């Protein structure tokens, strides 16, 4: 069964600093996709970044990058140059051959001015 | 390109009642998934619909049921509401059920059961 683990219920970061949000996953499928979503207090789920299991390079999207360590089954999100607007819940998720997407419990990020 | 839209945005029901939530998928997307997100938790997968048939279901009782229509819009029905059903219900669509790309979410329906 799929399992996504986010071990950091809450994280704090100073504005303009970088922060890493941890995520580990478990699947027996060789083909899968890993995702990060941002959820502000308004409730909408905003897609940030995707990493395919066969991708050779770590995914990057602007200030977001995904530190993909396949052997360790980890997919950490790195946010560089944090902004006040980055304060939100962040969810790691995976989609494998079951096709449905499963989410971790989330990490609440607070950016301090 | 029209995104995923959900209605209503908020709803208050009484325990034991029934509720129907609605979702229009993003243009060109034929797969719709429903999630329940309780306060302070991650979204929990309820079920997925592909071409009008349920294809995959999470750990939810049969009183949670759904439909998908020929235009790929979808409904989530919950019977015999319980207090624990209070949550944000998220609908998401994807191009098809075989791709491993991202899901595109609506803004959700916040259901309160009293």
Output the pLDDT for position A1: 60
pLDDT per residue as tens digits for the range A60-94: 999 999 999 999 999 999 999 999 999 999 999 99
Q: Percent of chain A, pLDDT > 90? A: 86
A positions 1-40 inside 8 Å of B (CB): 4, 6, 31-33, 35, 37
CA of A46: which chain B residue's CA is closest?
B105
Interface of B with A (CB under 8 A): 33, 35, 41-45, 48, 55-56, 58, 88, 90, 92, 97-98, 100-108, 110
With 70 as the cut, is the pLDDT of residue A53 above it? Answer: yes
pLDDT band at A97 (very low <50, low <70, confident <90, very high): confident
User: What pLDDT score does B28 carry?
Assistant: 84
DSSP secondary structure string for all residues of A10-77: EEEEETTS-EEE--EEE-S-S--EEEEEEE-TT---EEEEEEETT-SS--EETTEEEEEETTTTEEEE
Closest Cβ–Cβ partner in B43, B56, B58 for A99 = B56
Whether residues B58 and A100 touch (CB distance < 8 A) is answered with yes
Q: Residue A99's pLDDT is what?
A: 73
Closest in B48, B90, B110 to A100, CB measured? B48
Q: What is the pLDDT along chain B (114 residues), one digit of tens a residue?
A: 679 999 999 999 999 999 999 999 988 888 999 999 999 999 999 999 998 999 889 999 999 999 999 999 999 999 999 999 999 999 999 887 667 788 999 999 999 999
């Amino acid at each position: 069964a799929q399992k996504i683990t986010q071990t950091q219920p809450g994280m704090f970061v100073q504005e303009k600093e970088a922060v890493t949000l941890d995520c580990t996953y478990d699947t027996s499928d060789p083909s899968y996709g890993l995702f990060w979503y941002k959820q502000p207090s308004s409730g909408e789920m905003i897609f940030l970044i995707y990493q395919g299991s066969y991708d050779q390079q770590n995914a990057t999207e602007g200030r977001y990058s995904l530190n993909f360590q396949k052997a360790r089954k980890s997919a950490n999100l790195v946010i560089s140059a944090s902004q006040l607007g980055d304060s939100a819940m962040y969810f790691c998720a995976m989609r494998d051959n079951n096709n449905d997407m499963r989410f971790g419990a989330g990490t609440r990020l607070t950016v301090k001015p | 390109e029209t995104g995923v839209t959900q209605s209503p945005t908020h709803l208050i029901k009484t325990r034991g009642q029934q509720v129907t939530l609605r979702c229009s998928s993003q243009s060109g997307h034929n797969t719709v998934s429903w999630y329940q997100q309780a306060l302070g938790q991650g979204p929990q997968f309820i079920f997925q619909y592909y071409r009008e048939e349920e294809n995959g279901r999470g750990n939810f009782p049969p009183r949670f049921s759904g439909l998908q229509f020929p235009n790929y819009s979808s409904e989530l029905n919950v019977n015999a509401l319980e207090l624990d059903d209070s949550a944000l219900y998220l609908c998401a669509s994807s191009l098809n059920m075989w791709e491993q790309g991202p899901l595109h979410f609506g803004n959700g329906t916040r259901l309160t059961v009293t």
